Amino acid sequence: MKSVIITGSTGMVGKGVLLECLDHDSIMEVLVVNRTALGMEHPKLKEILLKDFMDLGSIRNEINGYDACFFCMGVSVVGLDEKIYSQITYDITKMFADVLFELNPSMIFNYVSGTGTDTSEKGRSMWARIKGRTENYILNKGFKDAYAFRPGLIIPERGIKSKTGWYNAFYVLTRPIFPLLKRSNNITTTTRIGLAMIHTLFHSQKSKHLENRDINLIVKNA
């Protein structure tokens, strides 16, 4: 039985991961750390509201003793300059990982990145460089195990909606062909991402960068 921390559970990916954790028999406790209230109650669920993610000292005791962190918090690069996007994407993730590693280096840290991420940190795409820098930091931090989940096209399930308006418009238009899209190994779902994350707690994966195809294969072979 494992206990996990989830960030970003008010977003599409994080909500999907949360629902799978709450349903899974091998997960005994879920702590969500959010800026805004989740609005959900469950016997396994605990919630911390944190306005400033750079101020983890105030919740240090509450996040101690967990087996894993599923870091699903993220932001769209649209409308953000490099400094702000780096602060949100890299600095906050690094701070969270640093504190958790100090408390429990034997935990597993799963970071939600994205397909197209640039781990050379030298490419022309600003968001890809910063995501790559973040991946490199997490995977080399020294946790018992760590993964960079790199989803591309994601189909939301279980009534989940994206917080991005045009994503939702796209999903409404394509919903009739969801069953067909799910057959593609290059497309994954919120459910599969959650199940794959849980699977990494019990079965180490050779590849630490998990694209849609890898996520789907983990769930298929589970």
Q: Which domain holds residue 134?
A: 2-221
pLDDT digits (tens, 9 = 90+) for 173-187: 667 676 766 777 899
Extended strands (E) in the chain:
2-7, 27-34, 45-49, 68-71, 108-112, 145-150, 153-155, 187-189, 209-211
Q: Which pLDDT does position 88 carry in this prediction?
A: 96
Three-state SS sequence of 105-159: CCCEEEEECCCCCCCCCCCCCHHHHHHHHHHHHHHCCCCCEEEEEECCEEECCCC
Give this prediction's pTM: 0.94
CATH code: domain of residue 34: 3.40.50.720
Q: Which pLDDT does position 160 carry in this prediction?
A: 85
- The contacts of residue 72 (CB under 8 Å, 6+ apart) are 6, 7, 8, 9, 11, 13, 14, 17, 112
Q: Which pLDDT does position 168 carry in this prediction?
A: 62
Contact between 151 and 115 under an 8 Å Cβ cutoff? The reply is yes
Q: Which pLDDT does position 29 carry in this prediction?
A: 99
pLDDT digits (tens, 9 = 90+) for 50-93: 999 989 989 999 999 999 999 999 998 988 999 999 999 999 99
Domains identified in the chain, total number: 1
Low-confidence ranges of the chain (pLDDT < 70): 164-174, 176, 178, 180-181
Q: Which pLDDT does position 170 carry in this prediction?
A: 65
